[in-house]
Structure 1
Amino acid sequence: MGTDEQRRFALVAGEASGDLLAGLLLDGLQARWPSLQTVGIGGPRMLAHGLQSWWPQEKLAVRGYIEVLRHYAEIAGIRRQLKARLLREWPELFIGVDAPDFNLDLEAGLRSRGMKTVHFVCPSIWAWRADRIEKIRAAADHVLCIFPFEPALLAGHGVQGSYVGHPLANVIPMAPDRGAARAALGLAPDAQVVALLPGSRRSEVRYLAARFFAAAAQMLKVRPALRFVAPILPGLRVEVEALLQASGAAGRVMLLDGQSHAALAACDVTLIASGTATLEAALFKRPMVIAYNMNALSWRLMQRKQLQPWVGLPNILSREFVVPELLQEAATPQALATATLAWLDAPEKTRALQQKFSELHVQLQRDTPTLCADAIQKVLEG
């Protein structure tokens, strides 16, 4: 085992949400091992922690069966080269951050050669693709779990895991300051604000942004004073601007470079793509309409492996439809507009939802960086 000065970990996070999780994880690791060196693949938050990224994170940010197939050769080539380099340079530990389709196979290959591996977070085997548990067992020495029921589920299949809380629960304040967020974005304190979050992947933006902007145009017909903000990754701005221009809402939607948390803090309601962002919206205590649309064949394949009636994390964690989900053919601009406006006319329902989200926030709050470091130290010592 290396000394603290010599410790070198490899991490791979495949998209913006994984970069956020990995950045918080690195807070704990670098507090435990101040001289830690990190290599792998990551985004801006990981780079800010000193990660040496061997490929751009955007190369891995692809979702959906058909979309992955289109990029399979390139992604498989990156994984093959990455594995070879890791085996040559042999970091003390490999941590796969989310991106299970990429990371679990990589982890299994490294672990079979004797490298210690950790996976953060537990793949959603409780929601869909239960068959993935066998792959997790082969891939990970330990799984860092962000939901409290996951370690027992893993243990039942012979996989070690630790509940570390959800990192976002400590980043997002229990009582977000809407006024400060609006001031920072130049929005009036008394405006009605809708946040549009069509996703962080190019494939998501391609399928959802036009629908979201068309829904905004529909809402403006009913409420011309509405204000819209849309956080967009800078690399997708040109594509998004073109979609906005064609939507009928051009000039009425403020495009933000990132700043999704500011948008969620400032808004009254959000129209949002299914994914980690829906949990962020819940932690900001914001009512939402969850939407998703993807390649039709990818959708049919996913439906076959879905184990629960919900796809949005707030609904999965609540075990009921506390917010509406409009998926695939149901995600029409008119339906999205109607469901979003309904929240603005239901203050009592909104207050009840905010109370439920506050209780969820408390359940997910833990000292995540320290608990992650504790679990990883045990793996290194084991």
Structure 2
Amino acid sequence: MGGVPAPIPTRNPEDAILCVEDLRRAALKKMPRGVADFINSGSTDQLTIHENTTAYNKYRVRSRVLIDVCKADTSTTCFGQRMSFPLGCSPAGIQGLAHPDGELATSRACSSKGVPMAISSFANYPINEVRSAGLSAGPIKHAMQMYTLKNRDLEASIIREAEAQGCTAIFLTADSPVLGVRYNEWRNDFRTPDGLGFPIYGWDTEKIRKQTHDDSFANLTDDAHSWAREVPWLRSITKMEIWIKGVVTAEDTLMAVGMGCDGIVVSNHGGRQLDGVPATIDALPECVAAAAGRIRVHVDGGIRSGTDMFKAVALGAEFCWVGRPIFWGLSHSGREGVELMLETFHQEFKRCMQLCGCNSIKDITPACLGVVRSDGPLARL
């Protein structure tokens, strides 16, 4: 049927993958408990990771009728390239946990669907291999995610390698001077499974498994990072775009503007850092207002449907990113699972646009949304 995500064939209707939640449930059946906890849990009391998704529920879409939407166009631009719709794969590390092909499978899926991918510095494959995989069905844009490292020479060499391989932007993860309090990792003594390395850092599996995830991160990253030090230094060594990932306030948005950054990703690290910070959909409007069109504003965190994407765009995000759904797709069926995930988001997003009378991304505005009020009537934005 045209426009409908193609489910994985099955004799049991309960196993059909028709939405991202179906994909999550299917993935959980395959993942070892410790791996599932690492991927799907947040920090401390799990408040932010929960609200990242549930916060979307208070926004309602205002559907419109009798509008010709037969030529509705979901395409947009990201990093100067036309994309099929406003969704990309976030820099989610250790994708080999979910499938042996890990980031290679994700890059191939992004290539086939015409969407961008951000490469985690904790990828299980080197940058050149991930980039090459992204050429399989047509060239796509890659961003390179980075932390501020204690070893400045290592950080510079990774950035230069990313640029040499054709990456377009740096996503500087700025919300992680230290790791958040992750009880599940401590209880499980989580360590990257045997056989998986971090080639971008030059770490083999033996080195990785000698330390806990928490200890290795603390030994690697620099908690003395600062706006004044990091952004000018990055500008001095690369021509790639510089994006700050992990912004949830107007104050930090204004800092990014003042420092001449190219964009921000409104993100709380998937609820894995400081528990109790705002859901990203709730932080988005103040960041958009502070940016005032001077820098690009993207968002990630808790997006689980095409309607969630629509709401984020209506609130001012130019582009959306997802992380955990990558692992669910990989766990289900590798590259094909990630393609299914992306296609599911795409078709849901397009149908939401059409049912709201929107023929293009520019038609999606705050007027498309309302907010549920406790005293009764829906409040328009």
Report which of the two has the higher share of helix.
1
The answer to which structure, 1 or 2, has the higher relative contact order (CA under 8 A, 6+ apart) is: 2
Q: TM-score range by the shorter chain?
A: under 0.3
TM-score, length-normalised on structure 2?
0.26
